[in-house]
Structure 1
């Protein structure tokens, strides 16, 4: 499977924050913006409010794995930013996966 393209530029993040839509649940916040592309670009963020570096990296790994499993089922042509909320530090993998599915269904991005 081809690895999804990562959002890395600060200008891309700012554009999605200002022009895109957002949804949230207990563990995640999703910002998304429709683009005229045949692929998705994705970014994962865990701020210092989540915890120390070990907890932040764990949060990003959980989000990336959940996204990897459902990426073939996501509509193409979007820029996505997943932001970890502070509650994620106590969450198990299954909780994060359910939150990911919930937020993708709520945004109508899941096929």
Structure 2
């Protein structure tokens, strides 16, 4: 995923936090704000120290999240900025669980239309 697809600046993060709508499941919180002027979506990822006490664990989760976003980027609404905040429940997730829970949260936020058939909810 290219850097142009990322929410990077503190100002942009705060704008999405303050004016965005939020939805959550047990593993992720999604903040979303519509941006009609965008050519493509932008995503910000936050994994706090409560989730993983080591940088290795936090970076692994961020890698998994970026991989899922990259796989699903054609399904994501292009005129939206959104943030993915990871909750401590996701601490020991493998790639399959990250994918399942993240797609569920994105579907709740209406960032993707619906969950793919191969991923089922709990």
What TM-score results when the alignment is normalised by the length of structure 2?
0.84
- Segments of 5+ residues of structure 2 without an aligned counterpart are 114-122
RMSD of Structure 2 on Structure 1 (CA): 1.3
Deviation at 1:41, TM superposition (A): 0.9
What TM-score results when the alignment is normalised by the length of structure 1?
0.91
Q: After TM superposition, where is structure 1 displaced by more than 6 Å over at least 4 residues in a row?
A: none
Residue 57 of structure 2 is aligned to residue 55 of structure 1: yes
- Segments of 5+ residues of structure 1 without an aligned counterpart are none
Distance 1:44 1:55 in 2: 14
Deviation at 1:38, TM superposition (A): 2.5
Provide the secondary structure at the position in 2 that maps to 1:95: helix
Larger proportion of helix: 1
Partner residue in 1 for 2:20: 20
Provide the secondary structure at the position in 1 that maps to 2:111: coil
Give the number of aligned pairs: 110
Q: 2:81 aligns with which of 74, 79, 88?
A: 79
Partner residue in 1 for 2:35: 35
